[in-house]
């Protein structure tokens, strides 16, 4: 045993051993990422450098960093060497952007296969696939609204996660942007226009039909990802839900944070677990 430990130490101390160990960690255990945009503000900020746990949702197909070149075939045809747990509602997830699988995105999973979504300005209503009784057992009456003969939960995650907010930055809210995309016949919108009389609010005329909300039923085996900074996020509302094959892992630990506007380190965020940043004060 002592001889084995000595050999292991010598191997790990060599250049070859160091490279192999680092690649093993990157491929299967943890990987470093930096947050490039404000879509998850105020939970994750631009300039947060973090480690992600890659084994939380199974073991993704190992890929060479930066060029995202797989080093083994996708034997299971699901993007993972070993299938594992799937993202749960409320999880922050790192995944591959469906329009460019070489780019990593990070958003919050707000719904999964079978769930239904109604989106209106400042309101994200979700009807969970478990049904009305599940909703009544798990959410207070003040967050529940009856729409089209079934129960929906209004902004179900805002009470649990402090970073979720609706604050447009230098443009109008995303709901109006999505509505105008339909008005002008633009592509690239995932939600469908509907009229829900129980919601009220502004009404728009789209091709002679009254519309005051947007609707989506999430496909089975898929996950709907929306940024916590909900009026400033390029997310599933534009390009759709993602399959399990694109799921990479979960943000774990911020090891450095740089505020480029102030040219200073955010020391209060360094050495912080992401789960601690999510807690509501």
Residue among 54, 63, 107, 216 flagged as catalytic: 107
Cβ neighbours, 10 Å, residue 98:
17
Question: Which two structure tokens, joined as six digits, stand for 23?
Answer: 């690649």
* Cα separations in angstroms, 133 against 68, 119, 128: 44, 22, 10
**Are residues 229 and 41 in contact, defined by beta-carbon separation less than 8 angstroms?**
yes
* Cα separations in angstroms, 228 against 43, 69, 167: 7, 30, 10
CA nearest 233: which of 39, 4, 37, 14? Answer: 39
39 tagged catalytic: yes
Residue among 39, 233, 241, 257 flagged as catalytic: 39
102 tagged catalytic: no
Could you give the residue numbers annotated as active site? Answer: 39, 107
């Amino acid at each position: 045993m002592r001889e084995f430990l000595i050999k292991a130490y010598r191997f790990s101390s060599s250049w070859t051993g160091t490279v192999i160990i680092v690649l093993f960690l990157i491929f299967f255990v943890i990987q470093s990422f930096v947050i490039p945009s404000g879509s998850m503000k105020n939970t994750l900020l631009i300039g947060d450098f973090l480690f992600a746990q890659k084994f939380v949702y199974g073991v993704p197909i190992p890929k060479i960093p930066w060029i995202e070149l797989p080093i083994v075939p996708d034997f299971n045809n699901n993007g993972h060497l070993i299938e594992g747990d799937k993202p749960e509602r409320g999880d922050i997830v790192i995944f591959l952007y469906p329009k460019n699988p070489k780019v990593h995105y990070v958003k919050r999973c707000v719904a999964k296969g079978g769930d239904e979504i109604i989106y209106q300005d400042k309101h994200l209503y979700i009807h969970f696939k478990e049904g009305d009784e599940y909703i009544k057992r798990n959410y207070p009456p003040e967050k529940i609204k009856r729409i089209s003969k079934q129960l929906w939960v209004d902004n179900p995650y805002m009470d649990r996660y402090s970073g979720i907010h609706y604050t447009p930055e230098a443009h109008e809210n995303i709901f109006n942007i999505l509505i105008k995309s339909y008005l002008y016949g633009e592509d690239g919108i995932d939600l469908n226009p509907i009229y829900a009389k129980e919601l009220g609010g502004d009404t728009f005329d789209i091709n002679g039909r009254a519309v005051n909300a947007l609707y989506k039923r999430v496909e089975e085996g898929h996950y709907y990802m929306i940024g916590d900074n909900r009026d400033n996020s390029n997310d599933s509302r534009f390009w759709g839900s993602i399959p399990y094959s694109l799921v990479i892992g979960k943000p774990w630990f911020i090891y450095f944070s740089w505020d480029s506007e102030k040219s200073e380190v955010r020391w209060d965020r360094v050495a912080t677990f992401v789960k601690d940043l999510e807690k509501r004060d």
